[in-house]
Amino acid sequence: MVAEALPSIEQKLEDVAREHGFVAFGIARADAAPHTAARLGEWLAEGRHGDMIWMESRAGQRGSPQGLWPDVRSVVALGMSYAPAFDPLALADEPARGRISVYAQGADYHDVVKRALKAVARWMVAEAKGAEVKVFVDTAPVMEKPLAAAAGLGWQGKHTNLVSREHGSWLFLGAIYTTLDLTPSRPARATCGSCAACQHVCPTQAFPAPYQLDARRCISYLTIEHDGPIPVDLRRGIGNRVYGCDDCLAACPWNKFADTAARHRAFLPRAELVAPSLADLLALDDAGFRQVFAGSPIKRIGRNRMVRNAAVAAGNSGDARFRERLEVLIADESPIVAEAAAWALAELAS
Ligand code: B12
């Protein structure tokens, strides 16, 4: 009689991760992405992070897992799907509506992924006595993409995001650092080949070279992270995008294999976040903003940035019906709103 092998801790861990909604799973040794620190250093030295000074201030910790936590031995990389059931580029021809990027149309992934990571980490601590763990999604000095690639979840595409054979470009990433020595997974082979679809589609030419993004030109950065006025030469390229941009992801041919049934239900789009009317966005005050965007990652940008973005989109719309509201907004208390409204009025007059 052949004795049946007991499942390994790695196998059980994967099963637990799947129970908690992760559809992509892998393990990397903590030192498995050795080029990352130098590449981060080059990116920062070029100033490509713009005014995200938080990227710079803890660069030593960000560059490698051991930089943040010297005792870490393994990284468990996890992915949760938000694959859309529709073509994210379809709303480009509706200038009176704002486009919100797919990742922000459902619940806030920081909350959903963090909760699931904590549940998996609790299981690890109970299973392997003495194990120490730390969980991360997005907000800590951790480079989730190269770690996920080293753990075999996919590869960093030319748009720099992780691409998976099964889930295309639509994975949220999370990581668990642990003191456990776990058996690493096999890294995936990079398969962008000669394709450059993501590089060509970018409306603001944010890729100085394949695998390199200049955040200062990226619509995601400009509409979400950047707090000042949006550079005038990039405004036309923004079109009707009011929060983030999906174009480089959506253009990737690997998405035709993306399993849309794998999308976590928390990321089903909320009807009011798919294509809000610009007129409604231009009318938002602080309380109205908080009410509409509660529970969504959009709440972080606040009313002023959202109305600034809506004013730029209105300026790009060619629709004179926005003039009346823009005339009010040129006297807005927020200088970035007032400036964008003045620019939009000039665009609509020309
Ligand atoms: C800062 C940040 C941004 C910035 C800068 C983006 C960037 N590419 O760096 C801005 C605001 C622009 C942004 C936008 C978006 N973001 Co963001 N962002 C982050 C954050 C917090 C850090 C990323 C980082 O470390 N950047 C620093 C650069 C230097 O690192 P890198 O991108 O890995 O760069 C590598 C390549 O350039 C490579 N490289 C350089 N030269 C060469 C040469 C060759 C040959 C090769 C192979 C590689 C290579 O080496 C570098 C180091 O690994 C992460 C969360 C986290 N903590 O990791 C989320 C994260 C990357 N963002 C995410 C998402 C979803 C987005 C958006 C899609 C949102 C949207 N729809 O608007 C866009 C995508 C834009 C894009 N094409 O990158 C997801 C990506 C998930 C995934 N599947 O990859 C993350 C992981 C958040 C999460 N937890 O899920 N983001």
65 domain residue, yes or no:
yes
The closest-lying atom of ligand 1 relative to the alpha carbon of residue 246 is 71
Q: In this structure, which residue's CA is closest to atom 39 in ligand 1?
A: 211
**Structure-block tokens of residue 7:** 């499942």
Per-residue confidence (pLDDT) for residue 89, from 0 to 100: 84
Residue 89 has what DSSP assignment? G
Whether this model's pTM surpasses 0.75: yes
| 117 CA → ligand 1 middle, Å | 20
142 domain residue, yes or no:
yes
Number of domains in the chain: 1
328, burial (CB in 10 Å: exposed 0-12, middle 13-18, buried 19+): exposed
Whether residue 138 lies in the annotated active site: yes
Residue from 31, 26, 64 nearest 175 by CA: 26
Residue indicated by tokens 């590869």: 155
Mean pLDDT score, 148-177: 97
**At what angle are helices 335-349 and 302-317 packed, to 10 degrees?**
10
310 domain residue, yes or no:
no
Probe ligand 1: pick from 138, 177, 221, max atoms within 8 Å of CB? 138
CA 158 to chain centre: 15
Q: Lowest-confidence range among 86-95, 230-239, 257-266?
A: 86-95
The closest-lying atom of ligand 1 relative to the alpha carbon of residue 248 is 77
28 domain residue, yes or no:
yes
Contact 131, 178 (CB under 8 A): yes
198 domain residue, yes or no:
yes
Average pLDDT, the chain: 96
Give CA torsion, residues 146, 151, 154, 160, to 10 deg.
0
- Does residue 183 surpass a pLDDT of 60? yes
Assess whether the C-beta atom of 43 lies below 6 angstroms from ligand 1.
Answer: yes
| 280 CA → ligand 1 middle, Å | 31
> What percent of the chain is predicted at pLDDT more than 70?
99
Considering the candidates 15, 87, 93, 138, report the single residue annotated as catalytic.
138
Contact 250, 234 (CB under 8 A): no
Residue from 19, 136, 16, 25 nearest 79 by CA: 25
Per-residue confidence (pLDDT) for residue 1, from 0 to 100: 53
8 domain residue, yes or no:
yes
Residue 203 has what DSSP assignment? T
Beta-strand (E) ranges in the chain? 24-29, 74-81, 99-100, 133-136, 155-156, 162-163, 171-178, 241-243
Tell me the pLDDT tens digit for each residue of 54-72: 999 999 999 999 999 999 9
Residue indicated by tokens 């973005």: 309
15 domain residue, yes or no:
yes
Tell me the pLDDT tens digit for each residue of 313-324: 999 999 999 999
**Structure-block tokens of residue 162:** 């992780």
309 domain residue, yes or no:
no
Mean pLDDT score, 323-343: 98
Question: Confidence class of residue 6 from pLDDT cuts 50, 70 and 90?
Answer: confident
Q: In this structure, which residue's CA is closest to atom 73 in ligand 1?
A: 220
Tell me the pLDDT tens digit for each residue of 147-160: 999 999 999 999 99
Residue from 6, 132, 9 nearest 70 by CA: 132
Cβ-based neighbours of 209, under 8 Å, separated by 6 or more? none
- Does residue 277 surpass a pLDDT of 80? yes
Amino acid (one-letter) located at 306 = M
State which residues form the domain around 32. 1-85+108-227+250-268
Q: In this structure, which residue's CA is closest to atom 31 in ligand 1?
A: 160
Which residues sit opposite 178 in a β-bridge?
74, 133
Contact 136, 177 (CB under 8 A): yes
Residue from 19, 22, 7, 13 nearest 166 by CA: 22
Probe ligand 1: pick from 36, 39, 117, max atoms within 8 Å of CB? 39
Assess whether the C-beta atom of 218 lies below 6 angstroms from ligand 1.
Answer: yes
Per-residue confidence (pLDDT) for residue 3, from 0 to 100: 64
